Amino acid sequence: MEHRGLGLLALLAALAPCCCAAPGPTLWPMPLSVKTSPRLLVLSRENFSIYHDPSSTAGPSCSLLQEAFRRYYDYIFDFNKSRLNPAKHNSAAELKQLLVSVVLESECDLYPSITSDESYTLAVEGPVAFLKANRVWGVLRGLETFSQLIYQDSYGTFTVNESNIIDSPRFPHRGILIDTARHFLPIKTILKTLDAMAFNKFNVLHWHIVDDQSFPYQSVAFPELSNKGSYSLSHVYTPNDVRTVIEYARLRGIRVIPEFDSPGHTQSWGKGQKNLLTPCYNGPKQSGTFGPINPILNSTYCFLSQFFKEVSTMFPDQFVHLGGDEVEFTCWESNPEVIAFMKKAGFGRDFQRLQSFYIQKLLGIVSTLNKGAIVWQEVFDDHAKLNPGTVVQVWKNEMYHVTQAAVTAAGFPVILSAPWYLDWISYGQDWRNYYKVDPLDFDGSQEQKKLVIGGEACLWGEYVDATNLTPRLWPRASAVGERLWSQQNIKDIEDAYDRLTIHRCRMTRRGIAAEPLFTGYCNF
């Protein structure tokens, strides 16, 4: 691969760490296989278009692809800041078309899933480039890569190197967690996040939608939950809002996995659902405060059945996240009815067993609804009996490799988040730490390692809302994005720095206020 102006670069490098190398293709995340030739092609707004290959299983009736074609056309030709089309380079050949071909049944009107095929090949040569994928999901990934290959030379001409790319992700579950309970996030912010996720090939939005502090999810079956539990009536996600997010995500090949965390983290549920939470006691008398969901009442499971039935319909993804983290036992310990129940059930004073009792019943409910479950690691750590296929999300930072080994040894799939808590900000280039993580860096067999289905960058909301979410997420999450998509041997951190600075500039150009990695500027 040839860089023009390498000598000048070296000189400039001595002066200042400049982000803006000579213009050229910059890919993020790095695809599986990239072969670029120095042969250049030019393209222009007027003469270039993206078409369905006649042999494709998808055509103009596939709105997911139609929308994508339009979106990427705009991203390529920089609809906001496009300079007037400059004179054509007479010497270079023209790229007139990108032909898109879906090989297998397109899945155009389906929702993406954990087994979705995101692979694609891209052959860029004049006058027609070919993007081939098994399913529409691969087309989406390929369009993003294609858009990253195109750059403007110093005359403003849209240029692309002839290239051949074969690509598919290392891990199938590549997620971002957003928390809309600690701070409400306006829909616009969520949609912008989905855009940025698509630029980085993330494919799961883990929506931690409710928690102690607020319940913004408007339930049709239980409207009082949000009426009483949201911060205010304008801090609510209506069913329409939820549908908007899900469809916007689908069009970008992103799954929306809701998390309704219980039995802990549920203070806000008690505002609109009486008798759901455990009343805490001060000696013989109720203290007036409440603890986790009350696991000993039939009404609890009646409620949960109805509630999760609605959730299962509202959210089409195969999986639902049930939480299960950080359950405080003190309130349960104080409640005489709970104590009596424990005795009768033979749990003694082992509240982990009560917790597991609850979780197992909830898992049963969810399984009846034909959904898979994802839980936080405590559910596994505290010995609940899990159905095979239950996914365990590892989040505790201490010795997480050991946890990964234990969970996979027991045969359960793992989502890794522990080293990727992006809400934990610090001074300097912390993206490097996220990049250096290897999700398979633990003691285990090949079979065990296969159970690591991916990871999630978490942006908990205690200190985050729409004012600072985007710069805090990007480009730091991009480091996680490459780690989850690209091959294990893509580890050169200085090359990553060079590519990520440019990818970051590209994101800002596309309307994502990604913060700078370091001193420098964007070339536009």
Partner 1 sequence: MVAFRYHASSAAQPGCSVLDEAFQRYRDLLFSSSWWQPPERTRKQHAPEKSSLVILVSTPGCNELPSLESGENYTLTINDDHCFLLSETVWGALRGLETFSQLVWRSPEGTFFINKTEIEDFPRFPHRGLLLDTSRHYLPLTSILDTLDVMAYNKFNVFHWHLVDDSSFPYDSFTFPELTRKGSYDPATHIYTAQDVKEVIEYARLRGIRVLAEFDTPGHTLSWGPGAPGLLTPCYSGSHPTGTFGPVNPILNSTYEFMSAFFLEVSSVFPDFYLHLGGDEVDFTCWKSNPDIQSFMKKQGFGNDFKQLESFYVQTLLNIVSAYDKGYVVWQEVFDNKVKVRPDTIIQVWREETPVRYTKEMELITGAGFRALLSAPWYLNHIAYGPDWREVYMVEPLDFKGSPQQKALVIGGEACMWGEYVDSTNLAPRLWPRAGAVAERLWSSELVTSVDFAFKRLTRFRCELLRRGVQAQPLSVGYCEQEFEET
Annotated catalytic residues are: 326
Is position 447 an interface residue for partner 1 (rule: CB under 8 A)? no
Please state the closest distance from residue 143 (CB atom) to partner 1, in A.
24
Residue 282 or 467 with smaller CB distance to partner 1 = 467
**206-235 footprint of partner 1 as x/- string (CB under 8 A):** -------xx----------------xx-xx
Write down the residue that tokens 């469809």 correspond to.
Answer: 247
* Piece of 41-49, 354-362, 393-401, 459-467 that binds partner 1 (CB under 8 A): 459-467
The per-residue b/e assignment along 137-149, b for 16 or more CB within 10 angstroms, e otherwise, is: bbbbbbbbbbbbb
Identify residue 1 by its one-letter amino acid code.
Answer: M
Residue 188 or 344 with smaller CB distance to partner 1 = 188
Give yes or no for a contact between 257 and 320, defined as CB atoms under 8 angstroms apart.
yes
Residue 17 or 336 with smaller CB distance to partner 1 = 17
Is position 199 an interface residue for partner 1 (rule: CB under 8 A)? no
* Piece of 111-119, 250-258, 353-361, 464-472 that binds partner 1 (CB under 8 A): 464-472
From candidates 466, 490, 498, 509, binder to partner 1 by CB under 8 A: 466
In sequence order, what are the beta bridge partners of 416? 394, 455
From candidates 140, 210, 464, 500, binder to partner 1 by CB under 8 A: 464
Give yes or no for a contact between 181 and 214, defined as CB atoms under 8 angstroms apart.
yes
Is position 182 an interface residue for partner 1 (rule: CB under 8 A)? yes
Residue 179 or 482 with smaller CB distance to partner 1 = 179
Please state the closest distance from residue 523 (CB atom) to partner 1, in A.
7
Please state the closest distance from residue 271 (CB atom) to partner 1, in A.
15
Q: Name which of 262, 244, 264, 246 is nearest 254 in CA terms.
A: 246
Is position 306 an interface residue for partner 1 (rule: CB under 8 A)? no
Cα angle value 24/27/29 (rounded, 5°): 165
Is position 195 an interface residue for partner 1 (rule: CB under 8 A)? no
Is position 478 an interface residue for partner 1 (rule: CB under 8 A)? no
Q: Coil, strand or helix: which one is 233?
A: coil
Residue 173 or 192 with smaller CB distance to partner 1 = 192
- Measured distance CA(466)–CA(134) in Å, rounded: 37
Residue 131 or 198 with smaller CB distance to partner 1 = 198
Q: Coil, strand or helix: which one is 344?
A: helix
Is position 424 an interface residue for partner 1 (rule: CB under 8 A)? yes
Is position 156 an interface residue for partner 1 (rule: CB under 8 A)? no
From candidates 284, 344, 427, 494, binder to partner 1 by CB under 8 A: 427
Is position 186 an interface residue for partner 1 (rule: CB under 8 A)? yes
Give yes or no for a contact between 352 and 383, defined as CB atoms under 8 angstroms apart.
yes
Cα angle value 297/303/306 (rounded, 5°): 145
DSSP H helices, 51-186, are: 63-76, 136-149
Give yes or no for a contact between 288 and 282, defined as CB atoms under 8 angstroms apart.
no
By CB under 8 A, what part of segment 483-512 binds partner 1?
508
- Measured distance CA(275)–CA(277) in Å, rounded: 6
Structure tokens at 210: 């409710």
Give the total residue count for the chain.
524
Structure tokens at 473: 């997420």
* Residue 10: Cβ within 10 Å count: 9
Residue 324 or 461 with smaller CB distance to partner 1 = 461
Query: Which residues, in sequence order, are CB contacts of 520 under 8 Å at separation 6+?
Result: 16, 17, 18, 19, 20, 501
**Total of residues contacting partner 1 (CB under 8 A):** 46
Is position 13 an interface residue for partner 1 (rule: CB under 8 A)? no
- DSSP assigned state of 23: S
Is position 471 an interface residue for partner 1 (rule: CB under 8 A)? yes
Please state the closest distance from residue 216 (CB atom) to partner 1, in A.
10
Is position 523 an interface residue for partner 1 (rule: CB under 8 A)? yes
From candidates 465, 493, 498, 509, binder to partner 1 by CB under 8 A: 465
Q: Name which of 387, 448, 376 is nearest 415 in CA terms.
A: 376
Residue 99 or 514 with smaller CB distance to partner 1 = 514
Binding site for partner 1 (CB under 8 A): 14-16, 18, 182-184, 186, 188-189, 192, 213-214, 231-232, 234-235, 423-429, 461-468, 470-472, 508, 513-521, 523
